[in-house]
Each structure stands twice: as structure tokens, then as C-alpha cells.
Chains A and B, each alone.
Chain A
């Protein structure tokens, strides 16, 4: 699972993707190449419908690759079986636009779900790890709260804790701040950046928020299914 030394944890090459069948078949991605350096925060920007989410779901092993290649942590995703894709997802921390917390579980239990996917050994230290993660996100006083009793920003921070508690080498986030006000949105991304730097996590984040762009190590712009520009701050 180690991200081989100075290599790229994520390497996308010649990626095409289509949606729909027959007449309605429509190409969403055209020859996308992208390499993410270890420990960096890359922001994927671009207009609506440009293919950002599609790239994210393909890297995240949530969709089968149709054409092209993605090497995730040195191993090819193209051609993998559905069961294999499920296992590969455990190497990734996902942060969604909606927090998608489980409403029946407390903050701490939700975070533990992010760890227990790694098996019984991980589960046995679940409580301590979840507490530690909530602590890092300034949520220790909310550990026992159900999502219904948390504010939007707190919920998104719990979702981040759930994504990071398993110490994933790669984190994928799609507009993680869209549901938050500007203040807490900025907070959340600063946290993500701080934890990512401390842990050497490679992060790919889709966002429209201009202030978040300032925090990125690198910005990739997409338009109409193609990568059109690259910038390093």
C-alpha cells in the first residue's frame, strides 16, 4: 500500500470516458493525463459539467475504467473486477459534498466506520483512534452527538475525520465546502491541508471557492472533458 518513494501515488494516462448507451452515448472525458505528487494538495477547478467529478470517481475506483489507465499507489485500476475495486477503495479517504453521516450513529461511531473497514484488528483500536481524530478536528466535546445535533460545519468535520481516520495515502474531496458558509468552509480546508501535510497525504479536491485556491499546491483546470491549464502557486 506504500506510495513508492518519490513516485506518484496517482497517475492518470490517456483517460477517456463515456456516459449513456447507443444514440445517447456522450463522451465526458477526453485523453486526460494527470499525475499527483506525494503529499500535495491539488485543486481541480473548472465549469460545471467539465468532468471533474467523473475524474474523481474514476480515480476513486467508484466507476469502471473504459479507456486509458489509472495507477493508484503503483497498481493499475483498469480491468480490475468489481470486488477488487471495492478493496482498492479502502486505500482512499473520500469526502463528499454532502456529509453522508449515518444518522443513527454518534460522531465517534461514524468515524469508527471509516476504520473498521480495514478489519477486526483496526476495529479493536477504533474507539481510541476515533477519539484522537475528533480531537485533531476540535470535536472531542461532540463525540457522543448524533449528526442531527451537530451544525453543518461540525458534520463536515466529522466526515473528514471519518475519511482520515484510516490514515489513507490518498484523499479525494468533491466540493467539501459547498454546504458550508465561507468561514467554516475555509476552516475545513485549512484543517485538511494541515493534516495532509503532517501525514504526507496526497489530496485531490474539486472546488469553486477562490479562497481555497490559495491553499492549493497546484491547480488543474478542466473544460469540456479536457485538462486545459495547469498552475503552481
Chain B
């Protein structure tokens, strides 16, 4: 390492030698940087999982454009809108198909008495509403009353349940004083708010939620004619529909809006942002502490080197060298531990925590700049090294 750094820097790697000369301090500094990295990685992981899990149910839809009530912020909080908008939409050029989607929440009581919250999609089984139903052998069962399909990625299901259902074993549960027969599974993926999803027909949906009206779905799913850009159809729909109760958006826009809303307006999203700031602060403060006490400890040596003719650039170089070493050597264990924690969290609470190269690269760059910045601040102490006081 010393030889390699020496070739890299074209001088004695003084910063490196100084750091390794005090192993406890070096280890503490690395642990601090690694800890800050783990903290930020976990926050970014959860934030990424939140963003990803917001998108998952939208991806289950068979739609290019979503029409929703104008005050809708997220998938789950849309107020119903008149079904009339669906017929109006069908008359707009470029619209190939339109179908209503009902949405509500349902408690799924487990044999052990605990409750899973399910997001319920009520769809017209005669039409293509959900992409995930294509080629699903159980899709036909939705036409029967009180039959449904459950998301096989539902969090903490009864053990072996989904395997049994897929093997054809009958399973039913009670909800809202009705018996729901689970005819099969779909794959959607859990989010932060709900544990999983239940897909039923619009008829079953209205029986489960009698206060809901057939004429007032939550969404209208629109498919465009092949070759027509959805953005242009959105503009045409916006012109055709009354703006005060229905807003059309492309599916991608809807997802992005929902993600933006939940990460910036909801406490859950802001908590993660706050965690990232805390991590960055902790890391910077630890690095600053270590580098400035290292400067203080070597003040006589630095004064000697000043007397010999080394200029400020040299000392800055040494401290930046130390900062860069702390950044690199702290980042790697931080990354490794974070990878382990990601795998653990993904497996134990079914949240899709995935490490992306971009995230790792971003955090490395952030770590490096924080360390170097702390190093720059630490060099202020150098001014106290007065070579004239040495004699």
C-alpha cells in the first residue's frame, strides 16, 4: 500500500503513514465513516423501496393513461369520479379502450387473529384491466361472485398458503360478513401502506363495499390506439373532460406524481431524507474530528516541515490524502454491511431493497466530498504551526 501510494502521489504518502501509525484512531475513523455510510445506504434503500413499491401496483394495470379525480395524490386516496367520464373518454380520438377500476382497503383476518391489510382492485372481468391477469389460468374465476385472487407477495402470509392455492386447494376467508373464495394468485408486490392486494370483479367489489356506487369508480383506465402518443391523447382528454372532477395523466406521469408526493409531502418520505442528512453530518463531524486532532498532534512536525520549505499546498495535499483514504477505506466496509442488511431486510419484511450501481457511486462521491471538505476545514489549524517557534 505504501509503495503503491508513493508511486501514485510521487512523494512519501505522509497522510497514509500518519493514519496507520495510530491504529486505534484510524479504526475509529473508519468505523465512523462506515457507520455514516450504512446509515445513508439504509435510508436510501428504504427511500428507493418506497419509490419502487409505489410504482409496483401501477405496473399491474393495463393502461397507458389514468383518469382520476382531480384531487388525487396517491393510488389509495382517489375519490370516486362519475363513470360518465369513461363514455366521454371513449369518444376522444386516439382512445382504443376505457374501463373502470374500483379501489378500496380490506382487512384480511388470519387464523391467528392478526390482520393483513389488502388493497382491493375491483375490475370488469369481461375487459382487460390488469396486465398481470394475462395468461393467468385463475383469471376466469373472477367472473364468479365472491371470488378473488390474492397477491402472492403479500407480507407475512400464513405459511404454505399460496403454494396450496396454486395447487388448486380451495381457500376462503371472511370479510365484511361475506365469504371470499381465493381462486388463485397474482403477483404485484407489497408496498409501505398495505400488506398486499386482492383482485375481485366489480360486482364482488360492490357487494363487499355496499356504500360504493357502480356509477362511481376510482379510476378509468385508458388504452391508446397503437402509434398514437399517449401525451397527445392526454391533451385531447383534458380538453374533453370537465377539469373540476377528472384529470387524465399518462401512467408514467401518475406514478411520478405519486412518488413525488409520498417522498416530499408524507412524513415517511421526509424521515428518510432527514436520515440522509444526519448520516452525512455524523460522517463529516467524525472525519473532521480525526483530521483536526491529527493536525494538532503533528503541529511540531508540520512546523518543522514548514521550516524546511514545504508550502501550504503540501500540507493541504497530506490532509486531502488522509481524507481520501478515510473515504475509500470507510466506504468499502460500509457498502458490504449495507449489502448484507439489504438482503436481510428484503428477506424478512418483503421490501424490495436493491443496491444500484448509481446509488453506490453517488454515495461514494458524497463520502469523498464530505471527507475532503472536512479535511479543508481541519487545515485551518495549520496556521498555528509557526516554524520560528521551533528554535
Known A62-B307, A89-B308: A100·B390 in contact at CB below 8 Å? yes
Report the separation of the CA atoms of residues A117 and B21 in the bound assembly, to the nearest whole angstrom: 22
Known A62-B388, A90-B308: A113·B12 in contact at CB below 8 Å? yes
Asked if A104 CB lies within 8 Å of chain B CBs, one says yes
Q: Is the CB of A104 within 8 A of B21?
A: yes
Asked if B309 CB lies within 8 Å of chain A CBs, one says yes
Taking the closest CB of chain A, its distance from the CB of B59, in whole angstroms, is 56
Asked if B56 CB lies within 8 Å of chain A CBs, one says no
Q: Which of A22-30, A52-60, A67-75, A195-203 contacts B (4 or more CB under 8 A)?
A: A52-60
Q: Is the CB of A97 within 8 A of B391?
A: yes
B387 / chain A contacts, CB cutoff of 8 Å: 62, 89
B303 / chain A contacts, CB cutoff of 8 Å: 100
Report the separation of the CA atoms of residues A117 and B10 in the bound assembly, to the nearest whole angstrom: 12
Contact with A along B14-51 (1 / 0, CB 8 A): 10011011100000000000000000000000000000
Asked if A154 CB lies within 8 Å of chain B CBs, one says no
Q: Is the CB of B14 within 8 A of A105?
A: yes
A86 / chain B contacts, CB cutoff of 8 Å: 306, 309-311
B311 / chain A contacts, CB cutoff of 8 Å: 83, 86-87
Asked if B301 CB lies within 8 Å of chain A CBs, one says yes
Q: Is the CB of B11 within 8 A of A116?
A: yes
Asked if B298 CB lies within 8 Å of chain A CBs, one says yes
Which listed residue (A101, A116, A162) contacts B12, Cβ 8 A? Answer: A116
Asked if A96 CB lies within 8 Å of chain B CBs, one says yes
A102 / chain B contacts, CB cutoff of 8 Å: 14, 298, 301, 304
Asked if A114 CB lies within 8 Å of chain B CBs, one says yes
Which listed residue (B10, B307, B391) contacts A123, Cβ 8 A? Answer: B10
Q: Is the CB of B309 within 8 A of A104?
A: no
Total B residues in contact with A, Cβ cutoff 8 Å: 25
Which listed residue (B22, B301, B308, B391) contacts A56, Cβ 8 A? Answer: B391
Taking the closest CB of chain A, its distance from the CB of B384, in whole angstroms, is 15
Report the separation of the CA atoms of residues A102 and B195 in the bound assembly, to the nearest whole angstrom: 61
Asked if A63 CB lies within 8 Å of chain B CBs, one says yes
Report the separation of the CA atoms of residues A92 and B310 in the bound assembly, to the nearest whole angstrom: 12
Report the separation of the CA atoms of residues A90 and B310 in the bound assembly, to the nearest whole angstrom: 8
Q: Is the CB of B390 within 8 A of A104?
A: no
Known A56-B391, A57-B388, A103-B21: A89·B307 in contact at CB below 8 Å? yes
Report the separation of the CA atoms of residues A107 and B391 in the bound assembly, to the nearest whole angstrom: 21
Total A residues in contact with B, Cβ cutoff 8 Å: 35
A104 / chain B contacts, CB cutoff of 8 Å: 14, 17-18, 20-22
Q: Is the CB of B391 within 8 A of A57?
A: yes
B18 / chain A contacts, CB cutoff of 8 Å: 104
Taking the closest CB of chain B, its distance from the CB of A178, in whole angstroms, is 11
Q: Which of A70-99 contact B (CB under 8 A)?
A: 83, 86-90, 92, 94, 96-98
Report the separation of the CA atoms of residues A201 and B166 in the bound assembly, to the nearest whole angstrom: 94
Report the separation of the CA atoms of residues A105 and B21 in the bound assembly, to the nearest whole angstrom: 8
Report the separation of the CA atoms of residues A56 and B388 in the bound assembly, to the nearest whole angstrom: 10
Taking the closest CB of chain B, its distance from the CB of A122, in whole angstroms, is 10
A103 / chain B contacts, CB cutoff of 8 Å: 21, 301
Report the separation of the CA atoms of residues A163 and B349 in the bound assembly, to the nearest whole angstrom: 65
Q: Is the CB of A114 within 8 A of B308?
A: yes
Asked if B339 CB lies within 8 Å of chain A CBs, one says no
Contact with A along B282-302 (1 / 0, CB 8 A): 000000000000000010110
A96 / chain B contacts, CB cutoff of 8 Å: 304, 307, 390-391
Report the separation of the CA atoms of residues A96 and B307 in the bound assembly, to the nearest whole angstrom: 10
A56 / chain B contacts, CB cutoff of 8 Å: 391
Report the separation of the CA atoms of residues A59 and B390 in the bound assembly, to the nearest whole angstrom: 14
Q: Which of B305-335 contact A (CB under 8 A)?
A: 305-311
Taking the closest CB of chain A, its distance from the CB of B311, in whole angstroms, is 5
Q: Is the CB of A100 within 8 A of B304?
A: yes
Which listed residue (B20, B21, B300) contacts A100, Cβ 8 A? Answer: B300
B10 / chain A contacts, CB cutoff of 8 Å: 120, 123
Asked if A11 CB lies within 8 Å of chain B CBs, one says no
Taking the closest CB of chain A, its distance from the CB of B5, in whole angstroms, is 13
B-side residues, CB < 8 A to A, are 10-12, 14, 17-18, 20-22, 298, 300-301, 303-311, 387-388, 390-391
Q: Which 5 A-B pairs have the closest CB atoms?
A: A104-B21, A90-B309, A89-B309, A100-B304, A62-B388
